[in-house]
Amino acid sequence: MSEALQAMGSVVLDPYLIGLIFITTVLGVIIGVLPGLGATTGAALLLPFTLTMEPVHAITVLATIYVSATFAGSITAILINTPGTAAAAATTFDGYPLAQRGEAGRALGVAVVASTIGGIFSVLVLCVAAPMLARVAYEFRPPEYFALTLFGLSMLASISAGGAVKNLIGGIFGVWLATIGAEKTTSIERFMFGNYELYEGLSFVPVMIGLFAMSELLVQSKLANKVVETVAMQAVKLPTKEDYKRIWKTILRSCGIGTFIGVLPAEGATVASMIGYSEARRWSKNKDEFGKGSIEGIAGAESANNAATGGAMVPTMVLGIPGSGTTAIILVGLMVHGLRPGPYLFTEQVGTVYQIFGAMLLANIMFLGMGLYAAKFFARISLVPMSILWPVVFALSVIGAYALSSSLLDVWIVLIFGVIGFFARRHGFAVAPIAVGLILGEMVETNLQNSLKMFEGEWWQIAMQPLAALFLVLAVLGLCGPMLFRLITGKKG
């Protein structure tokens, strides 16, 4: 524990790391206020540029982008009724009506305070929960990891909008993508079509850039001439004593909800914010204010979505199961830098892990200051014309993909998966399940093979292991639970 605390404290003694966190926090807020970008797209764009950094600096950049961009989405949600990130969608319900009444400063003040408390709470939970879960994970063998991965894939049914069936189809497509290349045990070539640059399989980085950044570019190209209506605002105002009395229970409740939702494999800040908002309304004494400018609604959504950021890092770092779309990219960053997620990360790389935790904590404190004193400036950035913004995104996508290994194939992969992502979104499919399926696909195959070797081909023995059986039951309930509930209660879907 002393080593962990020392590693976290070392962050404030490292001027280079503090400067890096500050610059990345500013960049994350800019990314968050630009509608269409968001934490996932920003992390995907920056991922190739972190490959030359030291591991702790690289993951710090990605984690800082995650927490700061998640908060910043609330700025445009309140001022122009356009959430900068999907996680801020629930904030528009009450933030914009409050701004229209001339209380934009108050709305932003509640949002920034709730976001900061949620983010700090989740990082503290991360510091405690991750090592505890790591000790449990020492007992995991291939059967347990195989069942856990299936559970993670089953959670794709609710990872984002689009419907359970479409999300599962996207996840299965991602798992299929993971089979491209030579099979590791037999070296049998699969779906390579004679291209030996695919011998090691698809590189995660260009696929992520294509799915998230390039596809978003194509989607936003249809909105190039859109004119947004802004709400004039004065300085951001901290919540008053009366405001705190109204929202403190909501913030604490949403901190717990957001952290719990974040820990669940494949969930994330968007789901957390919606549940945080609905629970705020459920427990409020002023339900009639919701949708018309309730500060409880803003506090419930914002504390939940930021609490989910730290929670989502728990399964990502301990089990290698992404807790959200952005942590899927952070997971790729960990693997590229040789930091293999799992329990051994918390024994062999304790200093690195807790430096990352310390950086996330510092980033949450930094965006508190930025939200209070620079929100008006950052709001102006959202007015950057699409005709300027998206060509820059395109250039960064292509440069980042090519710089990875100086291969034109990676550029083609970005373009191809950009088109795939665009048509997927156009037909109601989310791209996050595809990315998570790609990452988990290798884990499914490897752990199934190792399990079959352990049990000499007797596959049913996997279900005989208590922990593996628990995860398999949870996976079935995750997929069939809503249907079974409707059958039992007699309610229609």
pLDDT at 482: 64
Other Cβ atoms closer than 10 A to 467: 15
On whether the CB atoms of residues 78 and 93 are closer than 8 A, the answer is: no
What lies within 8 Å, CB to CB, of 207 at 6+ separation is: 177, 413, 417, 435, 438
pTM score of the predicted model: 0.77
On whether the CB atoms of residues 212 and 396 are closer than 8 A, the answer is: no
Torsional class of 467: left (φ above 0), alpha (ψ -120 to 50), beta (otherwise): alpha
pLDDT tens sequence for the chain (493 residues): 666 677 777 777 788 888 988 999 888 888 887 766 778 888 888 888 888 888 888 988 998 898 888 888 888 788 777 676 667 778 888 888 888 777 778 888 888 889 889 989 988 888 888 888 777 777 788 898 888 888 878 877 655 555 778 888 888 999 999 999 888 778 888 888 888 888 888 888 888 888 877 887 888 776 655 555 555 555 567 778 888 888 888 899 999 888 888 877 655 677 788 888 888 888 888 877 887 788 888 888 889 888 888 888 888 888 888 877 788 888 888 888 888 887 777 777 778 888 888 888 888 888 787 777 766 676 666 566 667 777 877 887 888 888 767 788 888 999 999 999 999 988 888 787 888 888 888 888 888 999 998 888 888 898 888 888 988 888 888 777 667 766 777 655 4
pLDDT at 459: 85
Dihedral of alpha carbons 206, 207, 213, 214, sign: positive
CA distances from 399 to 42, 55, 66, 209, 429 (A): 15, 21, 22, 11, 27
The residues pairing with 182 across neighbouring beta strands, listed in sequence order, are 189
Q: Using the 8-state DSSP alphabet, how is residue 176 labeled?
A: H
pLDDT at 177: 92
| Short-list 66, 88, 87, CA closest to 75 | 88
pLDDT at 423: 92
